[in-house]
Structure 1
Amino acid sequence: MRVFVTGATGFVGSAVVKELLDHGHSVLGLTRSDTGAEKLAAVGATVFRGDLDDLGSLQGGAASCDAVIHTGFNHDFTRFVESCEKDRHVIEAMGSVLAGSNRPMIVTSGIGLLRADRPVVESDTVTADIPRKATEEAVANIVAKGVNASVMRLPPSVHGAGDHGFVPLLINLAREKGFVACIEDGDNLWPAVHRLDAARAYRLAIEDHASQPAYHAVGEEGVAFADIAHTISVGLGLPFKSLSREHAKDYFGWFSHFAELDCCASSGRTQQVLGWLPREIGLIKDMQTAEYFDH
């Protein structure tokens, strides 16, 4: 298949591009920069110049391909609400040229939208009134219009070499504060997945023609936040402290919501339907052996 990939040079998107190419698919990769274009060309993808603000261009890319994988998202948390609404418009724009064609479209979403007192499963839907729900609302809207679209929910930690997500943020925060912290006992759970395992899930979902409304790229159902914090403490040689919720806000700031996130999640249905089994190393082992503390 010829697959249009947004976020094609990003941490997850670049792994998806390689996975697709390695399995005989061709890739039309979205990029807005010369550097991104060079990276895509170097791995054998076709370069598509544009960005998430140019909806017409995105429609053209989607219309020219057999499938779409949307991993692009603006992770500037100072403009989070705006970014979420932009994602809604991007999804609806690309979906508008796929309606009635049965060409699969996989849209990236997050496990953390679905907090529950049990492991979150693929059939769960977003009920919380939070900005990021715009993504899954947009997918539901285009499905209702005849688009073969599904969501791929990623955990709070998608890890591996080159990670610039939540774990590196916690490492940088610890360096800044001079110690590593968790909230109270730190027994809240973060699901995790290696980026290469996640990439395989995207590829298998496309090959399966997105037969499910939602997939979970979850390699580990829940890693205790305290274990992540302890690993950072050892890796940096900094003291570890348990903070009350009140004092934790001073330490974590805007990241407090994510630091207390507790969202154990299952990928059982995804594994069953796609024959997908996570095979890469887990988060803690990856933190200990990758480049997380080298910078």
Structure 2
Amino acid sequence: MRVFVTGASGWIGSASVEELLGAGHEVVGLARSDDSAAALAARGVEVLRGELDDLDSLRAGAEQADAVVHLANKHDFADQAVSNLAERNAVETLTTVLAGSDRPFVLASGVAGFAFGRPVTEEDASPFSGLDSPRGGAENLALERVGAGVRSVAVRFAPTVHGSGDHGFIAVLVAAARERGAVGYVGDGSNRWSAVHRSDAARLVRFAVEHAPAGSRLHAVAEEGITTREIAEAIGRGLGLSTVSVAPGDATEHLGWIGAFFAMDFSAASAATRRLAGWEPTGPTLAEDLASGAYFTG
């Protein structure tokens, strides 16, 4: 298949591109910078220049593709409305092009914000709809387009997609700990985060493109829930720093913007995904990645 990938040079996107290329697919990657374009071209990816806000480029990529994988996101944590609007517009544009074709549309989503007091499962519909909700309600929007002839599949990623070279949430926590001289966790640290290694997440993206039924929700989750205190203690061991409990009201002051996220429970199950996809994670656990020292060099 000819697969158009947004976020192709990103953390999950670059691994997914390698999976797709390795399976014999032709990949077209959206690139917003010269560096990203050069990196994609060097790996044998056809480059389409454009940004997430460039809806004409998104249309062009989707029109010429047999499948679309949408992994790009602005991740503007200072102004979520900007990210939400861009995400919703992108999904509306891409799925409009794919309507009536039954071509795959694989959307990056997450397991945050369900607030059930239990692990989120694949059967749980997203509680978010509309522009003012997280990600602009893009998951529900994409799945609604199944009725319009789009093979939409939501891949919900664990909050930490970890591995060597990660610049995501765990790296941000490490940076905050270095700045403060101690590793903070919120309250008693009993809230849990799910996790998945980058290589395992990429394999699930490829399955979604090739085989997942329309309307599927897949959970890229290898570890259902690791307590945030355990995560903090592992970071502390890597940095040689002590761990401290931070009151919920002080989380943002101590940890920065990620404090609000580190106070939440992001646990999720993946039993249904494993049965459907025959997917068994084989990459290192989060604890193993932290113990390897990959997050503490440089």
Question: Would you say the 8 A contact 2:84–2:135 is kept in 1?
Answer: yes
Question: Would you say the 8 A contact 1:55–1:93 is kept in 2?
Answer: yes
* Distance (whole Å) between structure 1 residues aligned to residue 125 and residue 163 of structure 2: 28
CA drift of 1:147 comes to: 1.7
Alignment deviations for residues 171-205 of structure 1 (CA, whole Å, 9 cap, x no partner) = 11111111111112211110000111000000011
Alignment deviations for residues 131-169 of structure 1 (CA, whole Å, 9 cap, x no partner) = 235222321343343321111100110001111110010
Matches within 5 A, 1:1-295: 1-127=1-127, 130-132=133-135, 134-295=137-298
Structure 1 residues 270, 150: CA separation in 2 closer, same or farther (over 3 Å shift)? same
CA drift of 1:113 comes to: 3.1
Question: Would you say the 8 A contact 1:113–1:133 is kept in 2?
Answer: no
* Distance (whole Å) between structure 2 residues aligned to residue 219 and residue 245 of structure 1: 28
Identical-pair percentage? 44
**What TM-score do the two structures reach when normalised by structure 1?**
0.95
Residue correspondences, number: 295
Question: Would you say the 8 A contact 1:106–1:210 is kept in 2?
Answer: no
Letter of the aligned partner of 1:242 in structure 2?
S
Letter of the aligned partner of 1:85 in structure 2?
L
Any unmatched runs of 5+ in structure 2? none
* Distance (whole Å) between structure 2 residues aligned to residue 167 and residue 40 of structure 1: 26
Which shifted more, 253-262 or 52-61? 253-262
Aligned partner of residue 97 in structure 1, secondary structure:
helix
CA drift of 1:26 comes to: 1.0
What RMSD in Å do the two structures reach over aligned CA positions? Answer: 1.5
* Distance (whole Å) between structure 2 residues aligned to residue 80 and residue 191 of structure 1: 23
* Distance (whole Å) between structure 1 residues aligned to residue 124 and residue 106 of structure 2: 17
Alignment deviations for residues 15-40 of structure 1 (CA, whole Å, 9 cap, x no partner) = 00001001111101110111111111
* Distance (whole Å) between structure 2 residues aligned to residue 248 and residue 9 of structure 1: 32
**What TM-score do the two structures reach when normalised by structure 2?**
0.94
CA drift of 1:209 comes to: 4.6
Aligned partner of residue 166 in structure 2, secondary structure:
coil
Alignment deviations for residues 49-104 of structure 1 (CA, whole Å, 9 cap, x no partner) = 11111112101101101101000001121122211121011011011111111110
Alignment deviations for residues 187-233 of structure 1 (CA, whole Å, 9 cap, x no partner) = 11100001110000000111105444211010111111111100111
